[in-house]
Chains A and B, each alone.
Chain A
Amino acid sequence: NAGVTQTPKFQVLKTGQSMTLQCAQDMNHNSMYWYRQDPGMGLRLIYYSASEGTTDKGEVPNGYNVSRLNKREFSLRLESAAPSQTSVYFCASIPTVYNSPLHFGNGTRLTVT
C-alpha cells in the first residue's frame, strides 16, 4: 500500500520554465489537496479537489493550475515559474473531511532560480 505518491522529489527550474508536479493516491480517497510549505509561513493551501472533476482555489492559487485527472491523480502545474514559487510542495488526500485525517505525500522540493 503506497499511500500518497509524489513525483519528482526534487526539481530545479529557471524562471519562466514550466513543470507539472504529479500526485497519485491508491486509497480510493475522494478529496485531494496541494499545499506549499515555506519557513515561517506554515502550510498554505494552493488548490483542493473534493471529488473527481471538481477543483477549488485555496489560500494561494495564483501562478498555479491543477487537474483532477481521475479519482487517483491530482496534478499541480506551474506555467511560468517564479523564484517566489521556491518551496516544498505537499500533496494530501482524505476519504472525506468528517472523521478522517489527511494522508500526506513525502513532498517535492522545488527551487526556481
Chain B
Amino acid sequence: AQSVAQPEDQVNVAEGNPLTVKCTYSVSGNPYLFWYVQYPNRGLQFLLKYITGDNLVKGSYGFEAEFNKSQTSFHLKKPSALVSDSALYFCAVSLNRDDKIIFGKGTRLHILP
C-alpha cells in the first residue's frame, strides 16, 4: 500500500522569505513523487516530479523539491516567496510503474505581503 502525508494544513511565509512545504511518503518500492498546485476555483497544475536520478528536482515557477530516501520525504521549496505563490499545494505518490496515484491532504500556503 502507498500513502502520502502533508503534516501542515497551512504554512504562512513573508514575501521574499524562503518557503518549505513538507511531504512524507510510504511505499513498498521505488516511488514516483509529484507536486501539484491548485489556485482558487481552478483545477490542479503540475509543478515538478521525481522519478529517478538527482535528488534535487527543479520545476515550474522557481519551485524545487528534494527527495530524501532515508527520511522518505519530498519537501517543496522556493528560495524567495511571492504573494502569487499563495495557493493549495498537493504532494502525490505512485509506486514504480503502478498506475495508482495517491494524493496528500494538501497544504494551504499563504504568502504575506
Contact = CB atoms under 8 A, between A and B. Distances in A.
Interface of A: 31, 33, 35, 40-45, 48, 50, 56, 58-59, 90, 92, 94, 96-99, 101-102, 104-107
A48 B99 contact: yes
Given A43-B90, A101-B46, A104-B44, A48 B103 contact: no
Interface in B85-113: 90, 92, 94, 97-106
Contacts of A44: 103
A50 B102 contact: no
A104 B98 CA distance: 19
A64 B105 CA distance: 21
Most buried by A among B9, B42, B44, B99: B99
A31 B32 CA distance: 16
Contacts of A58: 100
A98 B32 CA distance: 8
A48 B103 CA distance: 14
Contacts of B51: 98-99
Given A33-B101, A48-B99, A99-B51, 14 more contacts: A42-B6, A42-B104, A42-B106, A43-B90, A45-B100, A45-B101, A56-B99, A56-B100, A94-B99, A94-B101, A96-B99, A97-B97, A104-B43, A106-B42
18 contacts: A35-B103, A40-B9, A41-B105, A42-B90, A43-B44, A43-B103, A48-B100, A50-B99, A58-B100, A59-B102, A92-B44, A97-B99, A98-B32, A98-B97, A101-B36, A102-B44, A102-B101, A104-B43
Given A31-B99, A45-B100, A50-B99, A90 B43 contact: yes
Contacts of A98: 32, 51, 97
A90 B104 CA distance: 15
Contacts of A96: 99
A90 B97 contact: no
A97 B102 contact: no
